[in-house]
Structure 1
Amino acid sequence: MSASPVVYVIGTAAPPIFDWPTLFRLLRERGWKPHPVLSPVAATWCDLDELSTAAGVDVRVDLRRPTEPDPWPKADAVLAAPLTFNTINKWAGGHNDTLALGLLNELMGEGVPIVAAPCVKAVLGSHPAYLRSCRLLSECGVNAVDQAEVLVRREQDKVRFLWPKLVDAVDRVVPQQALTESDDEHARKLDDST
């Protein structure tokens, strides 16, 4: 494993996306190397240059061509935040029509640990399709964060996430020690314990 574990940060068009630079700073302080992916609509809301600078790598929005190499290293973890009602339902249904959804589908299939933080209005959160989608994703191993624990409403209906809690959730699903140990160090520890 590398000294700086890679976390793909996937976001869709919900208000917490405006504070992504804070998330990237926190991830980097914890030793993570964020690699941001935005849904096409979220990309129209954001300053991509600002986000790329904050993350230290270019933001990806579009699917690459089949002949293009993958520009990023493999992900050690995924933080999908914020996720909209639409994205959660499409993801659970296996839709693959954007880079964000494609990566969520592929990485879930590969067993990469995923922390998902929805940002959904209460009226949509009680919709039967949404509830089924959340259950299915949870059964598939997605670590869903209760939005009531991380979402803060501010004046004029502005909402934001408590990013430190989400970074804590990523740290819980992928302990840093496991990421920074080389395979040789891990084998040596196993030999020493027997």
Structure 2
Amino acid sequence: MSGRVLYVIACGAPPAREVSTLVTMAQGREWEVCLLTTPMGRRFVDTVALERLTGYPVRSEYKEPGTPDVLPPPDAIIVAPATVNTISKWALAVCDTLALGILVEAIGKRVPVVAMPFTNRAHAAHPAFQEHIGKLRSWGVDVLFGPEVYPLHEPGTGSRYLHLFPWGRTLDCLTHQ
């Protein structure tokens, strides 16, 4: 491996089922990949298969106090799919999950972060969501969101559009930093 460590954080949304696509693409670009999930994101992934693929445990909870961390520190982070919940809590510096704690800390450490939200038209229309995306962008987070990235869908129909989720754009964004 190249020694470049990428954390991929998958939130609780339908594309998380296919997060191995992003892991494999990143490994093809010589990233050493560690996968983390939000607690809801864990419900969508095959942890056994992903642990085999990455060589690391899939983490979704804080470690026990005093125990060593099993993951190397990240050189970059991709949050995909990122939910409205995660984007909004992150923008408010809420650290109630391991994923959010790492994301909040990443801004302070100036770790490059790319986020690709997956949401429906109704959630995306909430003014706070748009505001939170703007805040994250102003703090240096590359938030890939808008009709040119991924078209919004109607509530309850997201699983029909998984084949359009542009995993590779997140890696392309890291390459251009």
TM-score for the superposition, normalised by structure 2:
0.89
| 1:146 alignment counterpart | 145
- The separation in 2 between residues aligned to 1:26 and 1:128, in whole angstroms, is 34
**Could you say which structure has the larger radius of gyration?**
1
Q: Displacement, 1:158?
A: 3.9
One-letter identity of the residue aligned with 1:170:
L
> Is residue 2:163 matched to residue 1:164?
no
SS where residue 117 of structure 1 aligns? strand
Size of the alignment, in residue pairs? 172
After TM superposition, the score normalised by the length of structure 1 is 0.82
What are the ranges of 5 or more consecutive residues in structure 1 without an aligned counterpart?
Answer: 174-194
Query: Could you say which residue in structure 1 is the equivalent of 2:49?
Result: 50
Residues 95-141 of structure 1 show CA distances to partners (whole Å, capped at 9, x for unaligned) of 10001101101111100000010001111111111011111111111
Give the structure with the higher percent helix.
1
Distance between the aligned counterparts of 1:117 and 1:109, measured in 2?
A: 20
Q: Matches of residues 163-182 of structure 1 in structure 2 within 5 Å?
A: 163-173=167-177
SS at match of 2:67: coil
Contact 1:10/1:81 (<8 A) preserved? yes
1:25 matched to which residue of 2? Answer: 24
Cα distance in structure 2, aligned partners of 1:60 and 1:118 = 20
Matched, 1:16 2:19: no
How far apart are the structure 2 equivalents of 1:156 and 1:35?
A: 25
The 5 A counterparts of 1:1-194 are 3-151=2-150, 157-160=160-163, 161-173=165-177
Task: Give the counterpart letter for 1:104 in structure 2.
Answer: L
* Superposition misfits of 4+ residues, deviation over 4 angstroms: 152-156
Q: Alpha-carbon deviation of 1:156? A: 6.2
RMSD between aligned residues: 1.9
Letter in structure 2 aligned against 1:20: V
Contact 1:7/1:33 (8 A) holds in 2:
yes
Paired with 1:121 and 1:138, the residues of 2 have a C-alpha distance of 20
> Conserved in 2, the CA contact under 8 Å of 1:151 and 1:159?
no
SS in 1 for 2:6: strand
